[in-house]
Amino acid sequence: MGLPKVAITLGNGNLGARIATDDGVAGLVLTGAATASLPLNTPKVIFSLSEAQDLDILAVGSNASAHRHIKEFYDLAGEGAELYIMIVPDTVTLTQMADLTNENGAAKLLDAAQGRIKLLGLARTPAASYTPVLADGLDKDSLDAITKAEQLALAYAAQYKPVRVLIEGRELDTTGQTVVKDLRTYTANHAGIVIGSTTNDGSASVGLVLGRAAAIPVQRNIGRVKDGALPVLAAYVNTTKVEDLTSGDLLHDKGYIFLRTFAGRSGYYLNDDPMCAPVTDDYSQLALGRVIDKASMVSYQTYVEELNDEIIIDENGRISVPVIKYLQNKIESAVNLAMVDEISSFSAYIDASQNVLSTGKITVKASIVPMGYTKTIEVLLGFTNPALQ
């Protein structure tokens, strides 16, 4: 028993603090050349630009393009951000990168990450001799990659490994933007096209957009002005400076992601976070897709431990009220805790009349009220004369 004493035991786990999540873990498939430290088609996880440089991915030479995307990612995501990379030859197209059946495509990187990648970027720098085939005002390869990326994302979502894909939109025709493909005509709400760039060579800054998304919570729009200007000195769509871009509204309405400016405010910002889907699609914005992905994973992790458990059935063959309350409260508590400040509200409902004895199945109807977004603020401003009131 020992000497008389006062014993103080510190409690833990009562503050409801959220554990760290992998919401911002990203992956990049990039064009480049093999190095002594990194063979082609080899997934690698890094946590800083310096680690990429240690792999001989440098600002000059055959891996300059890959270095650019990684640098722009870390300019926003910050040192320590988890990033999976894979370098592929310049003969590999964006469409081939996204192809689920390509054993050296993005699927290889996703498999290596074992479901940790939630944001995937695909960027290509073809050989100098490459001549893009323009279709609907954009390199056909970029457009063809959309369907493949959607198939890829759906396949991994079915494995409880949700991922959203950002594709480089190359060589957009800024002289004929009325014929540029309307991305809102697709039904690929897991894929988005980036056409904004920090260089005027026809490329797009996928790493930059990926870094912005990785650095913010899932519900946040990548174009949120309060997050500040992007750390870039110039912005282009193909070879056109955004200051000279006359069809920004048109490109925005067609669902492209690019950089923009605001009158009276210095710096560059992203326009929005559209995906390749109609605006009527519930997940036509990257933020909304990321929210539902996270809620899906929280729901899965919450209920997977309930599988094959016995439950009490009342005298009428219905699920007992205590069981219903338990299951409803469990998912509501889990989602509301994991996603506090990321959704407006969450609720779950279980119909007691379900015949679990016959089917062995319980259906839970869950509803999320997402955050709203101030896409347009209309100020009605005019003069008034107090003497006339």
> Which has the closest alpha carbon to 34: 86, 109, 107, 95?
86
Residues in the chain: 389
Q: Looking at the predicted structure, is the pLDDT value of residue 94 above 50? A: yes
User: pLDDT tens across 168-183, in order?
Assistant: 999 999 887 678 999 9
Ranges of beta strands (E only) in 253-307 are 256-257, 259-262, 265-270
**How is residue 40 written in tokens?**
């082609």
Report the predicted TM-score, pTM, of the whole model to 2 decimal places: 0.90
Gap between the Cα atoms of 1 and 31, Å rounded: 69
User: pLDDT tens across 217-228, in order?
Assistant: 999 999 999 999
Residues in contact with 25: Cβ distance below 8 Å, sequence separation at least 6, in sequence order: 82, 83, 84, 113, 116, 117, 118, 119, 214
Residues in contact with 110: Cβ distance below 8 Å, sequence separation at least 6, in sequence order: 27, 117, 120, 152, 156, 161, 163
What are the structural domain ranges in the chain?
26-286, 308-369
Backbone phi, then psi, for 148, in 5-degree steps?
-65, -40
Single-letter amino acid code for the residue at 198 = T
Instruction: Tell me the C-alpha to C-alpha distance, in Å, between residue 197 and each of 70, 200, 206.
Output: 14, 7, 8
DSSP assignment of 143-197 equals: HHHHHHHHHHHHHHHTTT---EEEEE--S--TT-GGGS--GGGS-BTTEEEE-EE
Q: Looking at the predicted structure, is the pLDDT value of residue 13 above 50? A: no
Q: Give the DSSP letter of residue 272.
A: -
CB 171 within 8 A of CB 203: no
User: pLDDT tens across 287-334, in order?
Assistant: 999 999 999 999 999 888 888 888 888 888 888 889 999 999 999 999
